Amino acid sequence: MPATPFSPSSFFILQPRFNSYLHPLFRSLSSSSPLSLNAVNNFSTFALHSSLSPPSDTDSPSSATGPGARSGALSPGPAPSSGVVQKIDVNPPKGTRDFPPEDMRLRNWLFNNFREVSRLYGFEEVDFPVLENEALFTRKAGEEIKDQLYCFEDQGKRRVALRPELTPSLARLVIQKGKSVSLPLKWFTVGQCWRYERMTRGRRREHYQWNMDIIGVPGVMAEAELIASIVTLFKRIGITESDVGFKVSSRKVLQGVLKCYSIPENLFGRVCVIIDKIEKIPIDEIKKELKVAGVSEEAVQELLQVLSIKSLAELEERLGSHGEAVADLKQLFLLAEKFGYSKWLQFDASVVRGLAYYTGIVFEGFDRERKLRAICGGGRYDHLFSTFGADDIAACGFGFGDAVIVELLKEKGLIPELSLQIDNIVCALDEDLQAAAAMVASLLREKGQNVDLVLENKPLKWVFKRAARTNAQRLVLVGSSEWQRGMVGVKILSTGEQYTVKLDDLK
């Protein structure tokens, strides 16, 4: 190494200029390294809390701080002291989040895991506009999602909506691409979705959703692959089969029952949407809604009995082994064994999912302590395309939100410590040397090192505090006498080692 190592004492003898700046600080720091650890820990604890706390409920409608309360043009002079400027609402709109650095690190960590898993499975990333034509989402199957649309008329008199989910946009793009793409498509997205919900259960109005979809594969291998990818994600972030499981069923089970009672096929989506609410609203409510939808009392009884089945053997006994539902499910459990995740799966006929368009296998990830809402959910939607006026293509996919998983990671103490990592903090010891410090920063950045350049003339005490807060590995000091000899001072902050080094040799 071309650097000149030196002991603290020789340093102070050789570098009188440095000495006056460094003396008290280098001394006290080398005896109490790592620096201000508490401050750092508090910072990341704060990050954790702020990312997990429910959204503030105290914000008021914007009218309270509306345009009328603002000053006009932005004056270049100091703030008017007459007090006419009312403070804006500093919170984001109700039900939405800011991502300050500590929360953004967690989000990036999670999203990177989503992306890396998707790529391991050979999926390609896609995205769509967060603002879509409203018609894409206005299915008439009584879904909750439709009543919760953030929709409006734009200046061109078009009905538009913030997307509540990603699948309709994906289907739209697949239809648009037509024959220019080769099936199967394996696509994933990480995108923000919006729902205007009453803020009763600490639910937010926006969340990010990781979707993976396979377009063009009719067989259960596709569903098996999707669940495998979610299992891979869980394992990567430290979640095990004792923390979570998947409840699996097939909508073909219900379809069979409805067929027996001659219930029209076009009622199917609506019936599934009603049944999905079975754990959320009283059973009498469910029965009433089913009756209103046109399902006879007899059929309702049969449906509810079938929905209570919790084993595949019992299902087979009831429905016979020749139906598609049983065959699909048996195949899926066989594949799960080969993929190595059969312990994560359990059959549960009550799983139907709340979206109208599922047609076959449906699944949802749940925490085994049953404290949280579903972590993720998905299934086969072989007939979505025809409802958009295109030819049907076999398809399945899942959505995995960014909210419940973070709750679960918190429950399990699995939120990672993610702190800012700065390689170098570079500081001029003299206002005149700031441009020189900028040169040093440029040099290091060209070598791929990140640099927090101190942009003002600050006391070294301040610089050390900042270095501690940013977890800087190394302090590079540009002092006048060293600079004249083409050198800078370096302190390795973890060990306290310090030396001067020629600029050319600074690595």
- Binding site as annotated, residues for L-histidine: 165-167, 195, 209, 213, 353, 357-358
CB closer to a copy of itself, 12 vs 121: 121
CB closer to a copy of itself, 279 vs 456: 456
Find the shortest distance in angstroms from Cβ 77 to a copy of itself.
5
Burial (CB count within 10 angstroms: exposed 0-12, middle 13-18, buried 19+), residue 266: exposed
**DSSP at 321:** S
CB closer to a copy of itself, 75 vs 321: 75
Find the shortest distance in angstroms from Cβ 90 to a copy of itself.
4
Find the shortest distance in angstroms from Cβ 497 to a copy of itself.
22
Find the shortest distance in angstroms from Cβ 276 to a copy of itself.
13
Find the shortest distance in angstroms from Cβ 399 to a copy of itself.
17
Find the shortest distance in angstroms from Cβ 65 to a copy of itself.
5
Q: Which of 324, 355, 321, 336 is nearest to 253 (CA)?
A: 324
What HEC string does 395-463 produce? EEEEEEECCHHHHHHHHCCCCCCCCCCCCEEEEECCHHHHHHHHHHHHHHHHCCCCEEECCCCCCHHHH
CB closer to a copy of itself, 215 vs 501: 215
Find the shortest distance in angstroms from Cβ 29 to a copy of itself.
18
Q: Which amino acid is at 494?
A: S
CB closer to a copy of itself, 24 vs 101: 101
61 preceded by cis ω (within 30°)?
no
Find the shortest distance in angstroms from Cβ 181 to a copy of itself.
8
Residues 6+ apart with CB under 8 A from 203: 95, 197, 403
Find the shortest distance in angstroms from Cβ 330 to a copy of itself.
12
- Beta-sheet pairing, 474-478 with 451-453: unpaired
CB closer to a copy of itself, 30 vs 65: 65
- Beta-sheet pairing, 185-194 with 124-125: parallel
CB closer to a copy of itself, 13 vs 135: 135
CB closer to a copy of itself, 172 vs 288: 172
CB closer to a copy of itself, 50 vs 481: 50
Residue 167 in 3-state DSSP? Answer: helix
| Residue 226 and residue 402 in contact, taking contact as beta carbons nearer than 8 Å | no
Q: How many angstroms separate the CA atoms of 82 and 71, rounded?
A: 11
**Alpha-carbon distance values, 358 to 60, 229, 324, 379 (Å):** 39, 20, 15, 6
Q: Which amino acid is at 137?
A: F
Q: How many angstroms separate the CA atoms of 490 and 485, rounded?
A: 15
CB closer to a copy of itself, 113 vs 133: 133
Find the shortest distance in angstroms from Cβ 157 to a copy of itself.
6
Q: Which of 268, 251, 386 is nearest to 324 (CA)?
A: 251
**Residue corresponding to tokens 């139906």:** 323
**DSSP at 278:** G
Q: Quick one: angle between helices 324-339 and 221-236, nearest 10?
A: 40
**Alpha-carbon distance values, 440 to 158, 192, 311, 444, 471 (Å):** 54, 40, 68, 6, 20
| Residue 172 and residue 388 in contact, taking contact as beta carbons nearer than 8 Å | yes
Provide the 10 A C-beta neighbour count for residue 82.
Answer: 7
Strand order across the 487-492 sheet: 4-6, 498-502, 487-492, 474-478, 424-428, 451-453
Task: Identify the helix (H) or strand (E) that includes residue 85.
Answer: none
